[in-house]
Structure 1
Amino acid sequence: MISAVPPFPDGQLQQLGYVVRDLDEAIEQFSATFGVSRFFVWRDLGATITGKTYRGRPGEFQFSCAFGYAGDIMVELIQHDSGESIFKDWLDERGPGLHHVCFLMGSVQQFEAAVAGMEAAGHPIAMSGRSEDARFTYTDTVDPFGVYTELAYGPPEFLAAFDRIKAGDF
């Protein structure tokens, strides 16, 4: 029997993350195909992240992202830039495509409980990091669900940036 994971959907399904080979090309494709009209592009995002881990050891990865919204769901496009990462692994093994779903936690305590619960349920941490007080952890749920599960926490001031992106205020 699988041990119970703390009910992290108490947070919210925030994001669908796609790994892409070329960020600019993917932005054009998502805009044309799905009508995501604007993306906020953040180059070299990995440079701002501390406490990076990759598969249980310190990590050194760089990536760039574009954030847009389809209704209330964030669409994240991720381009691996350098180092070892689950983004590079995905591209090498599967090619571009849907990579993860992200659940946003309402508190650091909820985030930590969800991460511990996922590990206890047999879904190890594949990659993680921090950006100031914001935190993210990708748990390996690829075998049972076909994608990683990202658990994230962002303080109100961090989340305000996403509200501005959603409103097109950038």
Structure 2
Amino acid sequence: MTKNNALGTNVIAQIGILVHDIEKTSQKYADFFGVEKPEWSLTDTLERAKTEFEGNPTDARAKLAFFDMGSLQLELIEPDQNPSTWRKHLDEHGEGPHHIAFFIEGMKEKIAIMESKQMPLLQKGEYTGGRYAYMDTFKDLKIIMELLENDN
């Protein structure tokens, strides 16, 4: 890792993939890798997740299924119809890769650093035990970057 690393890490923790049908796609992944199909979970409501998309509160929710693949996790995401980075990306680009994620410390600081590099915040929210932020790194890095910060 170099001293100029904006995130403080270069270890990819997760790859997020947008899908239309989480049941069907998670079964295909399970069959392909010979593993048990994970149960999907639903993201929290606006009141709990405090989800914001492009600076505005949103009722957006998504079904999530996680596959632990050794050193990283595959996350399948089936968004609802409410405004979100997931819905917008799925509508504009179809199914497939959405983001790569990194575990970071100091969410507000990291968001400020990214924004100073013309990589604006797209969406943020809370989950049990932490928070996430999707940064628009597509122009330079050709994918959205997710920052994950877990509470200690």
TM-score grouping bracket, smaller chain normalisation: 0.7 to 0.9
Contact 1:36 1:68 in 2 (8 A): no
Report the 3-state secondary structure (helix = DSSP H, G, I; strand = E; otherwise coil) of the residue aligned with 1:82: coil
Q: Does 1:103 align with 2:99?
A: no
Aligned to 1:145: 141
Aligned to 2:13: 14
1:140, distance to aligned residue in structure 2 (A): 0.5
1:18-37 CA-partner distances (Å, limit 9, x unpaired): 0000001111222233x162
Is there any run of 5+ residues in structure 2 with no aligned partner, and where?
A: none
1:91, distance to aligned residue in structure 2 (A): 1.2
1:150-170 CA-partner distances (Å, limit 9, x unpaired): 0011124xxxxxxxxxxxxxx
1:62, distance to aligned residue in structure 2 (A): 1.0
Aligned to 1:136: 132
Aligned to 1:119: 115
What is the root-mean-square deviation of aligned Cα atoms in Å? 2.0
| Number of corresponding residues | 148
1:26-54 CA-partner distances (Å, limit 9, x unpaired): 11222233x16235334321327422110
Aligned to 1:83: 82
Report the 3-state secondary structure (helix = DSSP H, G, I; strand = E; otherwise coil) of the residue aligned with 1:30: helix
Given residue 64 of structure 2, which amino acid in structure 1 is its aligned partner? Answer: C
TM-score by length of 2: 0.86
Is there any run of 5+ residues in structure 1 with no aligned partner, and where?
A: 157-170
Q: 2:36 aligns with which of 35, 38, 51?
A: 38
Contact 1:36 1:70 in 2 (8 A): no
1:70, distance to aligned residue in structure 2 (A): 1.4
Contact 1:138 1:148 in 2 (8 A): yes
Report the 3-state secondary structure (helix = DSSP H, G, I; strand = E; otherwise coil) of the residue aligned with 2:6: coil
Report the 3-state secondary structure (helix = DSSP H, G, I; strand = E; otherwise coil) of the residue aligned with 1:83: coil
1:125, distance to aligned residue in structure 2 (A): 0.6
Which structure has the highest helix share of the two? 1
1:117-143 CA-partner distances (Å, limit 9, x unpaired): 111100111110012440100000122
The share of aligned pairs that are identical, in percent, is 23
- Distance (Å, rounded) in 1 between the aligned partners of 2:5 and 2:110: 7
Aligned to 2:27: 28
- Distance (Å, rounded) in 1 between the aligned partners of 2:68 and 2:78: 18
TM-score by length of 1: 0.78
